[in-house]
Structure formats: C-alpha cells, structure tokens
Chains A and B, each alone.
Chain A
Amino acid sequence: MFKRLRPFFALGLMLSVFFLGGCSNYIVLDPKGPVGAQQKDLILYSIGFMALILLVVYILFTVIVIKYRENRKDMSNWEPEQEGSKKLEILWTAIPILITIALAIPTIKTIYDLEKPPQASAHKEPIVITATAVDWKWIFSYPEQGIETVNYINIPEDRPVEFKLTSADSMSSFWVPELGGQKYAMPGMETTLYLQADHKGKFAGRNSNFNGEGFTHQIFDVNSVSQSDFDKWAKDTKSKAPELSKKQYDQLMLQGEAKKMTFSSTHLKWVDHAKDRDYAVKTRERLGVVPQNPHGSKAKDANKPEQDSHGESHSH
C-alpha cells in the first residue's frame, strides 16, 4: 500500500517546492502599495496557520493509515468497539476555536483599516477619481481637475487615491491587484475604494466580475507618476485635450470596447450613474440600438457597433 502512496507524497512535495519557491513572483504577494501590502501580510499570516493545520492532519493521517493497516503483523491493538475520547474531542474543538480567534482579530482590524485611506499617508489629502464601468470599458473622471479619461488613469505616487466606483450597466468589479483588493462597481450606487502606489510604475487594472462578451478585455492601465508630472499632465489635459461632447459620451454608452481617450471636461455635469441607474440603457434605446440575441440572425449578420471611430480620441 505504501509503495502506492509514495508517488502521491512525492508529487505533493514536488508541487509545493515548485510553487512556493517563486512566492514573490506572484502579483498579489508582491504588492506595490500599502493597501496591497496589508492584504499580503494577512494572507501570509493565514498561510502559516493553514500550513500548520495541513501538517498536523497529514502526519496523523500517515501514521494512522500505516499503523492500523489490515495486513500488519500485530493485531492486538485492534479495538473495534473503541468509540471516542472526551479529552481528544475537547482538544480538537478548542484548538480550532483558538485558531479562529487568532485569524479573526487581524482580519477585523484590516477590514476596518481598508475603509479608510492608508495610515502611512494619512496626512495627505486623497485625490478623488470617479470610476464608471460601462460594458466593456472604464470611464474615469477627475472632478477636482475637471478632466476625464477612458481606459487609463494617471495617479500621483505615494498619495492615497479615493476611487468612487459606479457602473452604467452591469455589475463590475474594479481591481488593480498590484495595488490592492477589489470592490464592486454597481449601477445606481456608489462604493468607495482607497488605493495607493508607493512608487512610479505602470499597473494593470481590470474588471474582474464577469459581465458578458467583452469581459476579458475590459482592462485599464494605472500609471503612477510623480506629483509634479501629475500636476503638469492634468494642467495640459485641461488646456489641450478636446472637450467631451454629450453625443460622444452617448456613443460610449453603447456596448463595446474602446480605445484610451482623454478629455478636458467630465460627464458628471450631465449624469451621475450612481444616481441614475438606467441612463445607459435609455441612451441605447434612444439611439435605436436594440439588444440582440447572440444566436439571432441579426447578430450574426450585423457587425458589432463600432465606437472607436467616433469622436476625436487621442491615445495616451
């Protein structure tokens, strides 16, 4: 029997070495900001406990399965009526309770911490960015700077960013794994997420909550730049980038992917999707874009509505 079990144990050992060897290569375990760092600490802390539990179970399992196998020589320790042990049962009820407490305390602390801007930069005023998910793109508004971008953002390094999340249609999730955990963006309401990048760099962000055909490509870039570069970019954009017209914005409300775009005004003056649930759907109706059954003949013939061609967008 053990000859048969051996490859399994060997496989397990190989796998753990193989995977855990490159721990720091995994994005979530190699965060680039204080929010992600706090979550990483929590994750590694819990992995410690989990490894301990696995170790105890596997050692007990191996010992028992070997010692009490059917074809052993000495059968005197076979006790078919042995039905329990109060001491042992109290032991393995008490220890999990202690582990649960040990895990719960830092979890609760972190949950509350993440509702506020990171402590390390608490003295700095967060910059506010509104992120609006529309199938299948992200529209970002900087209400303080009065500018708007599509599918990318620039943020100043080492300063907390307060994301105000909402959605024009489907339930989406705003996630920049290198900076920290995600939160949902939902129609008709607003959620808040604090993130921060410690240094300059480019980070991948995406919608991680499935929302239909273009889901896979609903991604955006986060560029962390110095405060002065950020200020310069914001000022240049305000003065040089084209204004966002209502007509152009309505085109963005159609389902489809979009290029990166930059505007010197925001959509917030016409619509706040956090208060106006069905703006996008009504716009589609108004523009005569009828939802198509993906297996219907119309969807098969017609090309997907193109919106990249609309408006003067300049890629960044």
Chain B
Amino acid sequence: MKWDEFFVTGDPLIYGADVSIGLTVIGLLFYLTYFKKWQWLWKEWLTTVDHKKLGIMYIASAVLMLFRGGVDALLMRTQLAVPDAKFLDAQHYNEIFTTHGTIMIIFMAMPFLIGLINVVIPLQIGARDVAFPYLNAVSFWTFFIGAMLFNISFVIGGSPSAGWTAYMPLAGNELSPGPGQNYYLLGLQIAGIGTLLTGINFLVTILKMRAPGMTLFRMPMFTWSALITMVIIVFAFPILTVALALMTFDRLFGAHFFTLQGAGMDMLWANLFWLWGHPEVYIVILPAFGMFSEIISTFARKVLFGYKAMVWAMVLIAAYSFLVWVHHFFTMGSGAAVNTAFSISTMLIGIPTGIKIFNWLFTMYKGKISFTTPMLWALGFIVNFVVGGVTGVMLAMAAADYQYHNTYFLVSHFHYVLIAGTVFGCFAGLVFWYPKMFGYKLNERIGKWVFWLFMIGFNVCFFPQYFLGLDGMPRRVYTYSAASGWGDLNMVSTVGAFLMGIGFLALVYNIYYSFRYSERENTGDSWGLGRTLEWATTSAVPPHYNFAVTPTVEGLDPVVAIRNDKKEVTPKLADIKPIHMPDNSGVPFVMASFFFVAGFGLVFEWYWMGIVGLIGVFITLIIRSFDKNEGYYVSVDEIKETERITV
C-alpha cells in the first residue's frame, strides 16, 4: 500500500484537519508534560472505576463527538445552501453524511445518555457504585476506542460512504471497495461490546442494588427509563453484533451473507439492521423521557402526574419497539398484509407516547413552575417533540409513506424526534446535574441564550425540510438544480443550521465561563428543589463512596420528604461503618488499546496486526481472571473527615 492511499489526500479541508489534529495532539502532550499531569491523568482518569468519573468521561467524549458530527452537518448544509454548489463533490458528501449519522447516533446520543445514567443512577438508587465497576470501565474504554477508530477514517484510509444504514449490496466489496466500510464495521463492533456490557451492568445495578425500601414502584422515573433502556439494549445489541460480524465476514473473508454474488440476501441485512435499529431509537429516547420527567416534576414543584401510567407507557413502548422495524422499508414490496400489520403496530406507539405528553403537561398543572434552563429545555422538548411525533404517525401510514420515504420529510421527522427529544434531553440533563458532577452550576443567563439560539435555529433548520420533502427532494443528494425550486427553503435551512452551531459554541463558552466564575455550591441539593436521592448527599459533588450511610427510602421523592420534615441530612456518627470499595485498574484501558490495534489491523486487512491485537485482548482477559483484586476499605476516620463530621 502506498502512502497516498494510507493518508487521505487531495482535499484542502482534509489537510486543514490534519494540521489541527497534529497541533491538538502536540498541545495536549506539551500540557501534560509541562504541568506534570501524566500521573494525575493515569491515576484519576485512565484507571478509574468510579461511576461518576466514567460518566464525566462519557459526556466529555459525547460533546466532542457532537462537535465532530455538527461540523459534518454544517459542511452538508453549506453544500446544499444553493443549487449546483461545488463546495463538496459527491464522494466527499456521501462520506460526510455517513459519518454524521453514525457518529450522532452511536458516538454522541448513546454515550451522552449513558454518561448521564452513569453519573446519576447509582446516586438515585442510593448505591455505592454500579454492580460491576471494573466492567463499567471496560464499557467506557471500548466505546471510546471504537469511536476513535471510526473517527480517524477521514484522515487515514478514507471514511465509509454507504450511509449509516450501510445497506447491502452497496456496502459490500463489489460496490464499496477500500477500508472505509471496514472502519464502520469494526468501530461499531468494538463500541457495541461496551454498550452491551453497560446494558448488563445497569440492569443488575438497578435490580439488585437499590437502597433499602426502594421498591420498583418507588424508583425515580429516570431510573425506570434507564432500567427499560437496559432491557432493550440487552435484547437489541446482540442482533447488531451478529449482523456486523456477518458483513465483516463478507468483506474480509469472502463470505456471501448479503453480497450480490453467491446468492447473498441483501434484504436480510436491512431486516437485521432495523431489528436492532428501531429499538436503538428507543434506547436514545427513553432515558431522555426519564430526565424530562425528573426535571418537569422538580421545577413544577409537584409529584409526577400519573406515575404508574408513565411506567407502563414506557414498558409498552419498549415492547412495541421490537415489533415495528419493517416501517423503515414499507417500500420494499413486502405486500399489503405485511405493510398493514406494521403500519398498525407503528401507529400504536403513538398511544403510550401521547399518554406521556399529557402526563408531563399535567405534572405542571396546579404546580409552581420556575423557568430555569433545564426546565426551558424540557418545555422546548414538549413543544417540538409533538411535531416529530405527529409526523411519525403520518410516516406510519404505509400508503402515504411511499411518498415520504427517502425524502427530506423523513429527514425532518427524525431530527424533530432525535434533536427535540434526545439532544434537548442531553442538554437538559447536563445542566440539571452539572452541579452534581462539578460542584457549581452552569451560568443561567448564558444557558438561556444557548437554549433560545439552539431551539430557534433547530426549527429554522428542520421545519422547512418537511416541505422540501413534500416537494420531492430526496435525502442524500449532494446537489440539486435551480429548476427544482428547492433553493429558497434550503437556504433557510442552512441559516438555521448555523444558528444551532452558534448555540453550541455558546454552550462551550458557558462551560468555560462557569468553570471560571460560577459560585461554588456547598449543599448536596444545588437547585434547592431536588426530589430524588442524588440530591441527598452531604456535599455538592458526592464523595467516591457516594453515601456515608446508605439511605432508607419510604416513598417516592425521598428528598422532598426530608425537606418537608426538616430532617437532618448529616449521617449519624454511630451509623458510619467502614466502606468496601473496588480498586482502580489499568487493565480496561490497556485492553481497549489492544482492541484498537486489532481493529486497525482488520480495517486494512493486515491480519498479522489483527492477530497481535486480539492476542493482546486475550492476555488482558487472562490477567484480569487471575487478578486477586479484593478492593479496600474506606476507614471511619476518613469518612468522618470527608463528611466534615466533628465530634
């Protein structure tokens, strides 16, 4: 292989990216060395098994990926702003929308939510950590390495360009040769390991590690949503794992599962992909539902309206999520009976979702609503998400879908669901729990600017796209003619996209500004309105063992009860006992690094390298198996000092 095949060449945008990547790496290395931070990095972050730190790393990676996916989006919108633009050529455009979709779903939305789940859930159920803290670190590092492997494709070897759905036979060697599609397969496969482990980990954590007294129907709604999400993950991700493995066999070892030659079945890929892909949509929306429930109840100062209905609605949505996948290809000619069945099953999802919308509205009914930033995101969610919801019902009507399918109508629909639902949810959760992670709030004034810029930009960007769809503009075209008449709406849409970009920059500025100037919090209940256990810790940022004494729960919203009864939060001295905690471990990081070596080798079909990497993975597994990691005890004295108990 020649050097100019290894590195992507010939495009000034790529050279610019090369330079900025180089400078960033040099800058980081210099910073870590000059300020002697290497040890800090290794001890505090790379080897940590603490759920809060892993959560913060998840969120930081997700914000980075939001930047990457966002830049992709702006490049696309720039190319589409005017007819017959020459900013990107077809191949480059195809690569960009492929990486945009894949990164936003797999490496942004999911890790952002999993990050928030990591930070919040163990606190919310009154646990010391997750059930398997070491496994949690393996989850994070395999996700991170998978994401990095996927991301370098645009400067080394070339990005995949078959769409995030990677339909066969397009994604096969016959029509998409080169390493690009291999990056997709291996990046997702490695990251998928992490997601599946997260699913198992939190399923066990929530089922087995709740504080005494917290029955299932006393769990906070976010915990419920996380539990249901984990069930979906455990059932859905193995399908993706198998499908990716089969396509990898097709591409690397000449198998014929989905190929044109050898009687492959391309429709089987579409079915397997959406058998995972549709539940995946609910994996990224249900946790957001859970967070909105918490936030709306908190800032409306009221118990959640119809708690049990909310829970059952989510259970129903989760069950339906496995029964609707064919609606992604009504146009595949499955016949009237099949399309009818899936049309109805899809429309049925609207019912529990509608129930939830009304329950959120009536949670505020007879409440006392404060318009904090997280609440603004939640209110924005209700207003915008219903637009995505009703257009979803329209798309569910198969006979009409023949006209919406593969058009901007669909593009607009899923952005209304995924941005107004998932992204608004991520931002709301980030702002809401920010003091839990860092001990200070994000600035509210800048936060509201972020909200309005992003929310208005979002509508300006995506609302016109419904009409572009009805005017026959297909998705994934890299350009269009002036005669099509799509120019004006596309220009409006591009302006909206850049407004969203400015909103994102304002968010980043807010993170910096608040780090410098925000008032540091002392109490565990930063908003003064907390309802669930994460707000019952004695300090703003909980100590690594979370609770000095495991709390006992007597009903929903335990912190409200504490506040109303003016109970003392400080743990009693007599109750404090030594706490058993797990040791840090560098093995997950090393194991993930070997995964990277293996993945990179397989991408370029350098099998020696793939084998070396996999042997490395295997050795780290053996090391872990013989590791007598017994953890350690936090002494009563240390707890007293941390909790500032002076007796």
A→B interface (CB under 8 Å): 1, 4, 8, 11-12, 15, 19, 25-29, 36, 38-39, 42-43, 46-47, 50, 53-54, 57-58, 60-61, 64-65, 68-70, 75, 77-85, 88-89, 92-93, 96-97, 100, 103-104, 107-108, 110-115, 135, 165, 169-171, 173, 175, 177-178, 180-184, 186-188, 191-192, 204, 206, 208-216, 255, 277-278, 280-282, 291-297, 300
Query: Shortest CB–CB separation between residue A118 and chain B, in angstroms?
Result: 13
Q: Check if B173 sits within 8 Å of A291, measured CB to CB.
A: yes
Further contacts, 5 of them, CB under 8 A, given A60-B358, A181-B331, A296-B5: A80-B302, A82-B302, A110-B400, A208-B406, A292-B178
Is B582 an interface residue when CB atoms closer than 8 A count as contact?
Answer: no
Is B125 an interface residue when CB atoms closer than 8 A count as contact?
Answer: no
Which chain B residues (1-40) contact chain A, with CB distance < 8 Å?
Answer: 2, 4-5, 8-10
Closest to B313 in A: A93
B402 contacts which chain A residues (CB < 8 A)?
A: 39, 114, 180-183
Q: Check if A291 sits within 8 Å of B329, measured CB to CB.
A: no
A169 contacts which chain B residues (CB < 8 A)?
A: 169, 174-175, 260
- Set B161, B366, B452, B470: member contacting A294, Cβ < 8 A: B161
Q: Check if B301 sits within 8 Å of A78, measured CB to CB.
A: yes
Q: Check if B2 sits within 8 Å of A77, measured CB to CB.
A: no
Which chain B residues (235-285) contact chain A, with CB distance < 8 Å?
Answer: 260-264, 266-267, 270
A15 contacts which chain B residues (CB < 8 A)?
A: 459, 463
B→A interface (CB under 8 Å): 2, 4-5, 8-10, 90-91, 94, 157-158, 161-163, 167-170, 173-180, 260-264, 266-267, 270, 300-307, 309, 329, 331-333, 335-336, 339-340, 343-344, 347-348, 350-351, 354-355, 357-359, 361-362, 364-371, 379, 382-383, 386-387, 390-391, 393-394, 397-403, 405-407, 452, 455-456, 459, 463-464, 466-467, 469-472, 474-480
Query: Shortest CB–CB separation between residue B45 and chain A, in angstroms?
Result: 35
Query: Shortest CB–CB separation between residue A72 and chain B, in angstroms?
Result: 8
Closest to A50 in B: B390
Q: Check if A27 sits within 8 Å of B472, measured CB to CB.
A: yes
B339 contacts which chain A residues (CB < 8 A)?
A: 111
Q: Check if B369 sits within 8 Å of A19, measured CB to CB.
A: no
B261 contacts which chain A residues (CB < 8 A)?
A: 277-278, 281-282
Q: Check if A93 sits within 8 Å of B351, measured CB to CB.
A: yes
B403 contacts which chain A residues (CB < 8 A)?
A: 28, 36, 39, 43, 177, 180-182
Most chain B beta carbons < 10 A, residue from A46, A85, A96, A188: A96
A114 contacts which chain B residues (CB < 8 A)?
A: 399, 402
Q: Check if A93 sits within 8 Å of B355, measured CB to CB.
A: yes
B303 contacts which chain A residues (CB < 8 A)?
A: 80-83
Q: Report Cα–Cα, A61/B365, bound state, in Å.
A: 10
Query: Shortest CB–CB separation between residue A214 and chain B, in angstroms?
Result: 7
With A75-B368, A212-B161, A278-B260 as contacts: A182 and B343 at CB distance below 8 Å:
no
B8 contacts which chain A residues (CB < 8 A)?
A: 295
Closest to A79 in B: B366
- Set B365, B401, B459: member contacting A181, Cβ < 8 A: B401
Q: Check if B387 sits within 8 Å of A104, measured CB to CB.
A: no
Q: Report Cα–Cα, A177/B354, bound state, in Å.
A: 32
Query: Shortest CB–CB separation between residue A24 and chain B, in angstroms?
Result: 11
With A184-B331, A211-B170 as contacts: A277 and B177 at CB distance below 8 Å:
no
Closest to B409 in A: A28
Q: Check if A291 sits within 8 Å of B177, measured CB to CB.
A: yes
Query: Shortest CB–CB separation between residue A183 and chain B, in angstroms?
Result: 5
Q: Check if B306 sits within 8 Å of A43, measured CB to CB.
A: no
A36 contacts which chain B residues (CB < 8 A)?
A: 403
- Set B94, B180, B364: member contacting A64, Cβ < 8 A: B364
Q: Check if B369 sits within 8 Å of A83, measured CB to CB.
A: no
With A50-B394, A54-B390, A292-B177 as contacts: A215 and B367 at CB distance below 8 Å:
no
A8 contacts which chain B residues (CB < 8 A)?
A: 383, 455-456
With A70-B369, A111-B399, A177-B472 as contacts: A294 and B178 at CB distance below 8 Å:
yes
Q: Report Cα–Cα, A250/B4, bound state, in Å.
A: 33
Q: Check if B333 sits within 8 Å of A70, measured CB to CB.
A: no
A183 contacts which chain B residues (CB < 8 A)?
A: 331-333, 402
Closest to A92 in B: B358
Q: Check if A19 sits within 8 Å of B364, measured CB to CB.
A: no
With A29-B470, A68-B366 as contacts: A11 and B459 at CB distance below 8 Å:
yes
Sample 8 A-B pairs with CB under 8 A, ordered by A number. A26-B470, A64-B362, A68-B367, A170-B170, A173-B406, A184-B332, A192-B333, A212-B175
With A78-B367, A84-B309 as contacts: A111 and B336 at CB distance below 8 Å:
yes
Q: Check if A181 sits within 8 Å of B158, measured CB to CB.
A: no
A112 contacts which chain B residues (CB < 8 A)?
A: 336, 340
Query: Shortest CB–CB separation between residue B97 and chain A, in angstroms?
Result: 9
B357 contacts which chain A residues (CB < 8 A)?
A: 57
Q: Report Cα–Cα, A114/B180, bound state, in Å.
A: 39
Closest to A277 in B: B260
Query: Shortest CB–CB separation between residue A56 and chain B, in angstroms?
Result: 9
Q: Check if A216 sits within 8 Å of B90, measured CB to CB.
A: yes
Q: Report Cα–Cα, A181/B472, bound state, in Å.
A: 10
Q: Check if A295 sits within 8 Å of B178, measured CB to CB.
A: yes
Q: Check if B470 sits within 8 Å of A187, measured CB to CB.
A: no
Closest to A211 in B: B170
Q: Report Cα–Cα, A296/B455, bound state, in Å.
A: 42
Q: Check if A64 sits within 8 Å of B365, measured CB to CB.
A: yes
Q: Check if B366 sits within 8 Å of A82, measured CB to CB.
A: yes
- Set B177, B260, B399: member contacting A39, Cβ < 8 A: B399
Question: Which 7 pairs show the lowest CB-CB distances between chains A and B?
Answer: A181-B402, A293-B178, A295-B158, A191-B333, A110-B399, A50-B390, A177-B472
Closest to B338 in A: A111
Q: Check if A115 sits within 8 Å of B467, measured CB to CB.
A: no
With A180-B402, A208-B407 as contacts: A46 and B397 at CB distance below 8 Å:
yes
B471 contacts which chain A residues (CB < 8 A)?
A: 25-28
Q: Check if A206 sits within 8 Å of B474, measured CB to CB.
A: yes
Query: Shortest CB–CB separation between residue A14 and chain B, in angstroms?
Result: 11
Q: Report Cα–Cα, A113/B398, bound state, in Å.
A: 12
Query: Shortest CB–CB separation between residue B121 and chain A, in angstroms?
Result: 23
Q: Report Cα–Cα, A84/B347, bound state, in Å.
A: 26
Q: Check if A294 sits within 8 Å of B91, measured CB to CB.
A: yes
Q: Check if B174 sits within 8 Å of A213, measured CB to CB.
A: no
- Set B2, B162, B344: member contacting A104, Cβ < 8 A: B344
Query: Shortest CB–CB separation between residue B92 and chain A, in angstroms?
Result: 9
Q: Check if A97 sits within 8 Å of B351, measured CB to CB.
A: yes
Closest to A88 in B: B362
B170 contacts which chain A residues (CB < 8 A)?
A: 170-171, 210-212
A26 contacts which chain B residues (CB < 8 A)?
A: 467, 470-472
B390 contacts which chain A residues (CB < 8 A)?
A: 50, 53-54
A191 contacts which chain B residues (CB < 8 A)?
A: 332-333
Query: Shortest CB–CB separation between residue B270 and chain A, in angstroms?
Result: 8
A96 contacts which chain B residues (CB < 8 A)?
A: 350-351, 354-355
Q: Report Cα–Cα, A36/B472, bound state, in Å.
A: 12
Q: Check if A297 sits within 8 Å of B302, measured CB to CB.
A: no
Closest to B469 in A: A28
Q: Check if A215 sits within 8 Å of B90, measured CB to CB.
A: yes
Q: Check if A210 sits within 8 Å of B163, measured CB to CB.
A: yes
Q: Check if A50 sits within 8 Å of B370, measured CB to CB.
A: no
Q: Check if B163 sits within 8 Å of A19, measured CB to CB.
A: no
Q: Check if B477 sits within 8 Å of A216, measured CB to CB.
A: yes
Q: Report Cα–Cα, A70/B371, bound state, in Å.
A: 8
Q: Check if A11 sits within 8 Å of B399, measured CB to CB.
A: no
B469 contacts which chain A residues (CB < 8 A)?
A: 28
